[in-house]
Amino acid sequence: MNIGIVCYPTFGGSGVLATELGKALANKGHNIHFITYQQPVRLSGFHANIFYHEVRVPTYPLFDYPPYETALSSTMVDVILNNDVQLLHVHYAIPHASAAYMAKQILAKQGIKIPVITTLHGTDITLVGRDKTYSPVVTFSMNESDAVTAVSKNLRDETFKNFKMEKDIEVIYNFVDVKRFNKKPIDAFKKVISPNGERILLHASNFRKVKRVDDVVNVFLKVTEQIPSKLLFVGDGPERPGIEMMCRESFAHNDIRFLGKQAEMEDILAVSDLFILPSEYESFGLAALEAMAAQVPVISTNVGGLPEINVNDYCGFLSDVGDVEDMSKNALTLLSNEEKFAEFKKNALAQALKFDINTIVPQYEELYKKFI
Ligand code: GMT
C-alpha cells in the first residue's frame, strides 16, 4: 500500500507513535510518505520505502499567523497526486483532520477519491480540541473522516462525551517494539549515573503542566530519604526551568540530572529502576509502555487510559492525582523488596507484550484495507 502519514514531528507521543508506525509499515513493504513541517525526531537513516515531504509555509509581511493548515492541505494534494498515495492517515486531530478534509475535497473535484483515517491521541480531544475555538472544526472533520481511531478506551469515551460524534471510533492501542526496548544495560553508563549502586528513577515528558513534574521531584525526595537514589529527567518543555529551580533548591540537587531530549530512550530505560508518571491526564501514556517493555515498573496516577496499561499491584502502581505520599510509598515498596521488584519487572514485560508492535500494527493494516 502507499500511505501518507501526517503528524507532529516533535518528541510528543503522537509524533513518536506515527513515526514508529510508518517505519513498521515500511519494514513490511508498504510505501510510507511522511508529510510534516520537520523531519520527525524518530525518523533517521535511509529506508527504501520511506519518503519525507516537508510542508513549507512561506512568510509574507501581511501574515501575523502564516497559514500552516493551508500549506499542509496543498502539500497533501501535491504528495498524493505525484506518488499515487492511496490513503491519508492523520495523527492528532488539530489541524491535521481538517487539512485532510480540504485535500480530500480538492482531489474529489479531480475525480480522485482519497480515504482519510484520523487517529486521536489525547490533548487534541481532552484539552485543545474541546475549546470552543476549535471544537466545531474538530467535530466536523472527525465526522468527515472515513474512520476515526482512538489510542485507548478512555479516549474513545471522552470523545463521545465531549463531541457530537456521528460515527464509531475504533480503539487501536499504541504499541511498542518490545524487542528493541528490552535491552541489557550499558554498565559504564549505569556507573556514571549511580556510582554507588543508587536506585535510578526516571521521568520522561514534554514538561507541560498536565505532567505534574513537580510531583516527580517530591516523590523522588521522599524515596531518596529512605533509599539512596538518583533521578533522571528526559525531555524539555515550558515547566522545565521552574522544575530545575525546584531541584536546585532541594537537598538532593546533586542526585538529579536533566538529560534533555533523547532519541535513544531504550539505553536510558535499560539502566532505570522505576518510571514515574504522575500526570493529571494521559489518554494512554506511551512513555510508560516503553518503560514496561524495558522491564521498568511504573508508578503512575490512575487517570485516563493509564489503568488500561499499568495494572495496579502487578507491573506498577496507580495513585490518585497529586497523592505524592502514596506514590512514594509504592516506589519504596518495590525498591525495598527484591523479590517483589523482580516479579514486577517480569510482569511489566509480560504486560508490554500485549501491546507489541507485531500485534498492533496489523490492526492498522486491516483498517487501511477496508478503504483501499
Ligand atoms: O502529552 C504528551 O506527551 C503529548 C501528546 C501528543 O499528542 O503527542 O501525547 C498524547 O498522545 C500520546 C500518544 O498516543 C499518549 O501516549 C499520551 O498519553 C497523550 N497525552 C495526553 O493525553 C496528555
Centre of ligand 1 from the C-alpha of residue 320, in Å: 19
Give me the pLDDT at residue 44, please.
85
pLDDT of residue 199 exceeding 80: yes
- The residues of the chain that CATH labels 3.40.50.2000 are 2-174+356-371, 178-353
Decide which of 11 and 238 is more confident. Answer: 238
- And the C-alpha cell for 231? 533521578
Residue carrying the nine cell digits 510505501: 31
What angle, rounded to 10 degrees, do the helices at 93-109 and 135-144 form? 50
Centre of ligand 1 from the C-alpha of residue 284, in Å: 7
CA-proximal residue: ligand 1, atom 21 (nearest) = 282
The residue-averaged pLDDT of 210-215 equals 97
The residue-averaged pLDDT of 236-261 equals 97
Rounded to whole angstroms, the Cα distance separating 39 from 91 reads: 15
Centre of ligand 1 from the C-alpha of residue 87, in Å: 24
Q: How confident is the model at residue 45 (pLDDT cuts 50, 70, 90)?
A: confident
Give me the pLDDT at residue 233, please.
98
Give me the pLDDT at residue 347, please.
98
Rounded to whole angstroms, the Cα distance separating 213 from 208 reads: 8
The residue-averaged pLDDT of 68-94 equals 97
DSSP 174: -
In this predicted model, what pLDDT tens digit does every residue of 340-362 receive, in sequence order? 999 999 999 999 999 999 999 99
Give me the pLDDT at residue 184, please.
86
Q: Specify the CATH number for 178-353; select among 3.40.50.2000, 3.40.50.10070, 3.40.50.720, 3.40.50.2300.
A: 3.40.50.2000
The minimum-distance atom of ligand 1 relative to the CA of 15 is 8
Centre of ligand 1 from the C-alpha of residue 288, in Å: 11
Give me the pLDDT at residue 42, please.
84
The residue-averaged pLDDT of 56-62 equals 89
The residue-averaged pLDDT of 21-35 equals 97
* Ramachandran sector of residue 54 (left: φ over 0; alpha: ψ -120 to 50; beta: rest): beta
pLDDT of residue 166 exceeding 80: yes
Q: What is the pTM of this model?
A: 0.94
Among the listed ranges 32-46, 234-248, 299-313, which one has the minimum average pLDDT value?
32-46
Centre of ligand 1 from the C-alpha of residue 29, in Å: 28
| CATH class of the structural domain 2-174+356-371 | alpha beta
In this predicted model, what pLDDT tens digit does every residue of 314-334 receive, in sequence order? 999 999 999 999 999 999 999
Centre of ligand 1 from the C-alpha of residue 81, in Å: 31
Centre of ligand 1 from the C-alpha of residue 283, in Å: 6
What angle, rounded to 10 degrees, do the helices at 324-335 and 338-353 form? 110
Sheet order of strands, 2-6 included: 50-54, 31-36, 2-6, 87-91, 116-120, 147-150, 169-171
Q: How confident is the model at residue 183 (pLDDT cuts 50, 70, 90)?
A: confident
Mutate to test the pocket of ligand 1, among 19, 118, 123 (most ligand atoms within 8 A of CB): 123
The minimum-distance atom of ligand 1 relative to the CA of 126 is 22
* Contacts of the segment 360-367: beta carbons below 8 A, 24+ positions apart: 360/172, 360/173, 360/174, 360/175, 361/21, 361/24, 361/25, 361/28, 361/175, 363/172, 364/21, 364/25, 364/89, 364/172, 365/1, 365/25, 365/28, 367/117, 367/147, 367/149, 367/170, 367/172
CB 90 within 8 A of CB 97: yes
In this predicted model, what pLDDT tens digit does every residue of 267-318 receive, in sequence order? 999 999 999 999 999 999 999 999 999 999 999 999 999 999 999 999 999 9
pLDDT of residue 78 exceeding 90: yes
Ligand 1 contacts (CB < 6 A) are 12-15, 17, 92, 121-123, 151, 174, 205-206, 210, 281-286
Give me the pLDDT at residue 41, please.
84
Give me the pLDDT at residue 128, please.
78
Q: What is the Cβ-side half-sphere exposure of residue 80, based on CA atoms within 13 angstroms?
A: 27
Degrees to nearest 5, angle at CA 283 with 220 and 267: 50
Give me the pLDDT at residue 85, please.
98
CA-proximal residue: ligand 1, atom 23 (nearest) = 282
Centre of ligand 1 from the C-alpha of residue 114, in Å: 27
pLDDT of residue 77 exceeding 90: yes
pLDDT of residue 129 exceeding 80: no
CA-proximal residue: ligand 1, atom 9 (nearest) = 13
Give me the pLDDT at residue 336, please.
97
Centre of ligand 1 from the C-alpha of residue 201, in Å: 21
DSSP 253: G
In this predicted model, what pLDDT tens digit does every residue of 98-109 receive, in sequence order? 999 999 999 999
Mutate to test the pocket of ligand 1, among 91, 127, 275, 282 (most ligand atoms within 8 A of CB): 282
**10 residue type, one letter:** T
The minimum-distance atom of ligand 1 relative to the CA of 14 is 8
CA-proximal residue: ligand 1, atom 7 (nearest) = 14
pLDDT of residue 127 exceeding 80: no
If you average pLDDT over every residue of the chain, what do you get? 96
pLDDT of residue 186 exceeding 90: no
